[in-house]
Chain A
Amino acid sequence: MSAAGPMGTAGPMGAAGPMGAAGRRSTAGSPVAALAEPRRDFVDVVVGFARALRQAGVPAGPDRVQAMLRALGHLDVLDSGQVYWAGRLTLCADPEDLDRYDAAFALYFGGQRPRRGRTATEAPQVLRAAPFEPAAAGEEQREGDDSPNFAVHASRHEVLRHKDVTALSVTERQQLERLFALLAPRASGRRSLRYTAAHRGRVDLDRTVRQMLSQGGEPAELIRQRRRHKPRRLVLLIDVSGSMSPYADWLLRFAHAATRRAPQGTEVFTVGTRLTRVTRELRLRDPDRALAAAGRAVPDWRGGTRLGDTLKAFLDRWGQRGVARGAVVVLCSDGWERGDPAELGSQLARLARLAHAVVWVNPHKGKDGFAPVTGGMVAALPHIDSLVAGHSFAALEELVEVIADA
């Protein structure tokens, strides 16, 4: 963090308050009057702080920095409490920003290390390499050698669609990635409160009278309206634990296709040992860049599975507040639960009460001899509306239909 520079110009930050030297020099009479036009060194301190804050992951843009300067113009810059609030009220815009703000404030103005404890869970995430590079080339090539045998029976394209995504060669992967552009998952609609013009339905009094008015008050034709249909929200929860890692990449691609289809109506989270929201990352247009961004955001890639706990985190933090209400929720996991399956069962029951439909995608369902016997699956079965496979492109196409019919 580059705190040394601005702190040097502003002098030591001591008991006098965060704006110590800068403030003292500029405040002969009333500090508010002196700050009506902020002094240059004072501006430097704030701009430096905003830079530190951006490094901590709070998107404090220039307009917000200006707002902070204006707020300080109305406050006492020698009072560290007021400086704290001026920054917090103007630079933050999300509850998740607050812990980062506290840490950056303490570090920048107090010269302290950020506090641990409550901040630990929300600490800025360490950048990680994207986990989407293909497996070792040699191995893939061997897999590729097998494909001609299948091609005897069906077109290459058909084979590709039905092949398990973990058994693809490098070229097949690339072909399949292009095929994902064809997927357009979208949840079914529900009746909205709003009306739309229609030939049949109830009379739209406002518009009918308005038309009468334009014709000099002569009774005109009745204009009718009907309730609009609004698509349901689609929520995808993707297990990124070790056992799911061969499929997670493809499922995220599927999620990207859904996000592209309905950017406002889709929410994507990864689950594993912790919950990560990747909706924003997946809104990038280019699938590869979106997936790389999502990969960087997920800290527990190929970790363990504590589905019950992460599902609870999802419901507490997002689901119950509204994200899962009336939505179609798709949970992609193999159900290898390391935590207590009973907890998973009770959280799924909660989810089922909130959501319109719960779809479980288990890639192993596509394999011969599959039976939902893992602890997690057994606990989940009473609460899910449908169980589908997600191991191949064809299976994902089927998933699109299941989502649309849900």
Chain B
Amino acid sequence: MASVDPRTLDPAGLTPAALGHALEQAGYLPDDGLSTAAYLALRMHRPLFLEGDAGVGKTSLAHALAEVTGAELVRLQCYEGIDASQALYDWDFPRQVLHLRATETAGGGGYRDAAELERSLYDRRFLIARPILRALEHSPSVLLIDEIDRADDEFEAFLLEVLADNAVSIPELGTIRAETPPLVVLTSNRTREVHDALKRRCLYHWVAHPSYEREVAILRRRLPEVSERLAREVAGAVRRMREADLLKPPGVAESIDWAQALHLLGADSLDADRAAATLGAVLKYQEDAARIRDTVLAELAG
């Protein structure tokens, strides 16, 4: 993937279309809504809240944004039970104890009194930066908070606090503030409704499946080795699968996997036999596979 010169993103002359173009250069093909959303997130310093089915390209947008802005991508994968010590910072207790013992053995270690020794224990070097603190310390950065819907709702309240101030206060050390606030991208698969208070601080965008033409373009871009004909036929078949009322309609990620699988089997067009053999790349439920075998694949076989 060709890296983009961050200077092309001159903030004064930036427009949604220019950002969209830069994202295309980075290998991500956004539609108007997504590029406007990303543009506003950059200009307004608001977190971008992306919701949509799995595999529509929410996470890869954050990767592409990091690339075009020349920023470091810091990813925080949410899961049930995640808390501040996994998201923000943690003290490295064993190293602190070691430091204390080493100082004792060395006979005071040159510290004048106990207070100074204690202060030395809460030094920045004993602090383990977790993703959010890392994003605040390394600016510019893109902070990807992935699958926020998997975290508990208490965690949302905590995130709200951090996102509002772009700062973290550590009682023993003081406040660490970002020089330039990170570009925050939150994604959700909607397994749970995220609280309104969090959404209210964000730009909300529902990421839909791409149109046929865009999907063909994405396949061609991601898999240059795949023939145009195969890309078109895969995009067409996936589109029909999405209309077929499946348990899990395939996303873009699945159609890329499928096209790649077909290509590896030497296909330059979609035929019934190879499609049936590779159906597991695109459909993840046995019921869905059975239904598609009877409809879409039956038609392919003629």
* Chain A contacts to B: CB under 8 angstroms: 59, 61, 63-64, 67, 70-71, 74-75, 81-82, 85-86, 88-90, 92-95, 98, 192-194, 205-206, 209-210, 212-213, 216-217, 264, 316, 320-323, 325, 350
Contacts and interface: CB of A to CB of B under 8 A. Distances in A.
Contacts of A322: 149, 191-192
B80 A193 contact: yes
Contacts of A192: 80-81
User: Main SS of the interface on chain A?
Assistant: helix
B247 interface: yes
B125 interface: no
A170 B168 CA distance: 59
B161 interface: no
B192 A75 contact: no
Contact of A217 (B81, B97, B248): B97
A95 B192 CA distance: 13
25 contacts: A67-B44, A67-B203, A70-B44, A74-B39, A82-B36, A89-B203, A89-B205, A93-B196, A93-B199, A94-B199, A94-B204, A95-B51, A95-B206, A98-B206, A192-B80, A194-B81, A205-B93, A206-B93, A209-B96, A212-B97, A213-B96, A213-B97, A213-B100, A217-B97, A320-B247
Contacts of B32: 81, 85
A74 B200 contact: no
Interface in B75-132: 79-81, 83, 85, 90-91, 93-94, 96-97, 100-101, 104, 121
Among B85, B94, B101, B153, the one with the most A-chain Cβ atoms within 10 Å of its Cβ is B94
B51 to A, nearest CB: 7
B43 interface: yes
B274 to A, nearest CB: 29
Nearest to A317: B190
B33 interface: yes
B97 A209 contact: yes
Interface residues of B, number: 41
B16 interface: yes
Contacts, number: 94
Which interface residue of A59, A90, A323 has the most chain B CB atoms within 10 A? Answer: A90
Contacts of A210: 91, 93
Contacts of A194: 81, 83
Nearest to A264: B153
Interface string B239-271: 000000001100000000000000000000000
Contacts of A193: 79-81
Contacts of A64: 200
Contacts of B51: 95
A210 B40 CA distance: 44
Nearest to A219: B97
A205 B81 CA distance: 18
Contacts of B91: 210
Interface in B181-198: 189-192, 196
A234 to B, nearest CB: 14
A88 B192 CA distance: 21
B100 A216 contact: yes
Nearest to A346: B287
A85 B33 contact: yes
Interface core residue of A81, A82, A98, A217 (most chain B CB under 10 Å): A217
Contacts of B248: 320
Contacts of B205: 88-89
Contacts of B90: 206
Contact of A321 (B40, B96, B97, B190): B190
Contact of B200 (A93, A264, A323, A350): A93
B22 interface: no
B37 A85 contact: yes
Contacts of A213: 93, 96-97, 100, 121
B63 interface: no
A216 B101 CA distance: 9
Interface in B31-59: 32-33, 36-37, 39-40, 43-44, 46, 51
Given A95-B206, A98-B206, A320-B247, A63 B93 contact: no
B152 to A, nearest CB: 9
List of 3 A-B pairs having minimum Cβ-Cβ separation, nearest first: A322-B191, A209-B93, A193-B81
Contacts of A325: 191
Given A64-B200, A89-B204, A322-B192, A217 B100 contact: yes
Contact of A89 (B40, B94, B191, B192): B40
